[in-house]
Amino acid sequence: MNAVDVRGLKKQYRVYQKKEGLLASVGGLFRRSYRTVNAVREVSLTVEKGELVAFLGPNGAGKTTTLKLLSGLIYPTGGEATVLGHVPWKREVAFRRRFSLVMGQKNQLWWDLPAQESFRLHREIYRIPTQDFDRRVDELTAMLEVRELIGQPVRELSLGERMRMELIAALLHSPELLLLDEPTIGLDVISQRKVQEFLKHYQSERKLTVLLTSHYMKDVEALCKRAIVINKGVIKHDGPIADIVDRFSKHKVVEVLFGGPIPGDLSRYGTLLEATPPRVKIEVERADVARVLSDLLDRAQIDDVSVNERPLEDVIAELFASDDRPNDAADVLPSDGPPGADDARLALSRDG
């Protein structure tokens, strides 16, 4: 059985359209106009147990909405989904004890209390035996190098330290599925690397199923072999990350080290990316690479040449360049669930 199985999942929002001007605003009190926002459209995907999958897309693509649907925080407009054998929006207690959702822009730790106090709250919520709890706290704080910080108020921690504490809180009850929404957003390079190394090691050791969204392609390349690409609520790619470049990139980068005079009209071959004589980089259409190399060898003395794929982040950016939706409706609109539905931790404590 797959850890995640989604078939034709849809989520729509009905959004009030406010008109400009005083008269229009008064008229809106009596007669309102709405538009429908399709946050997720007919999404179908599967994630096997123990798999670590990247879920990529621009702002407004439907990533966060999909994660909220899979965690049961919001209800779908249509379609079906099972997560760890459960229908997520039924919000069964047994299901909520088997997964964790970490959102890089939201906190589950009490701001003015030390992280260890929030950990103890999680122990009560998830009913973790004391011996298991102590062992897991000791192990996770050591792995993430924050053991000496758990007695310090969360507000006094750096952003990177807080994110590592968030990961500890999410993993204390040993979930089978971890949903990560931008876990390294805003972190410095060192903190990003620590989080990446921890996730890679922990996932490999525990065979944890992970669905990761990130705008940092270094996260994706360091952790994942498979990527699901979504744009405007529709899946555009589902397969190996390496296939994204082959499928969507129309260009390659030709790097040339000249041994003599450099031709003055290199722009005829493509886009000149860098020119630091005697080395230049040119972005060339895939179909023209052989012709360009042949022409350059005929016209100039060349000491070295290499042909490389474009960086993954450039290909992804090009793929999403046509996305003209400025905001992620799923991130700014309220969820459809009852009060408190957007906080799985509090919901679990409320329902036992």
Residues 171 and 35 in one domain: yes
pLDDT at 321 over 80: no
Task: Say what the pLDDT of residue 343 is.
Answer: 40
Closest by Cα among 131, 111, 120, 204 to 168: 120
Q: Which long-range contacts (CB under 8 A, 24 or more apart) does 90-99 make?
A: 91/347, 91/351, 93/348, 93/351, 93/352, 96/72, 96/344, 96/347, 96/348, 96/351, 97/126, 97/173, 97/175, 97/348, 98/175, 98/176, 98/177, 99/71, 99/175, 99/176, 99/177, 99/178, 99/179
CA distance 236 to 43: 10
pLDDT at 331 over 60: no
Identify the band that residue 349 occupies on the pLDDT scale cut at 50, 70 and 90.
very low
Task: Please name the amino acid found at residue 272.
Answer: L
C-alpha 48, offset from chain centre: 18
Residues 260 and 226 in one domain: no
Closest by Cα among 74, 57, 60 to 10: 74
Residues 130 and 105 in one domain: yes
Residues 192 and 284 in one domain: no
pTM of the entire structure?
0.79
Residues 209 and 300 in one domain: no
How many domains does the chain contain in total?
A: 2
End-to-end CA distance of the chain: 27
Residues 184 and 69 in one domain: yes
pLDDT tens profile 52-83: 999 998 888 889 899 999 999 999 999 999 99
Q: Please report whether residue 26 resides in a domain.
A: yes
Residues 223 and 102 in one domain: yes
- Among the residues of 10-129, which ranges form H helices? 22-28, 63-71, 93-96, 115-126
CATH number of the domain that 256 lies in?
3.30.70.1150
Q: Please report whether residue 157 resides in a domain.
A: yes
Query: Which is more confidently placed, 231 or 88?
Result: 88
Residues 98 and 78 in one domain: yes
Residues 48 and 168 in one domain: yes
CATH number of the domain that 233 lies in?
3.40.50.300
Mean pLDDT in residue range 43-47: 94
Residue 60's domain comprises 4-245+321-334
Cβ pair 301, 258 in contact under 8 A: yes
Residues 298 and 184 in one domain: no
Identify the band that residue 322 occupies on the pLDDT scale cut at 50, 70 and 90.
low
- Among the residues of the chain, which ranges form H helices? 22-28, 63-71, 93-96, 115-126, 130-143, 159-171, 189-206, 217-223, 242-248, 289-299, 312-319, 329-332, 344-351
pLDDT tens profile 231-280: 888 898 999 998 888 888 889 999 999 999 998 889 899 999 999 999 99
DSSP 148: G
CA distance 92 to 121: 20
pLDDT at 315 over 70: yes
Q: Please report whether residue 135 resides in a domain.
A: yes
Q: Please report whether residue 103 resides in a domain.
A: yes
Residues 193 and 270 in one domain: no
Reading the block at residue 229, the tokens are: 């690409």
DSSP 2: -
Task: Please name the amino acid found at residue 138.
Answer: D
Cβ pair 56, 231 in contact under 8 A: no
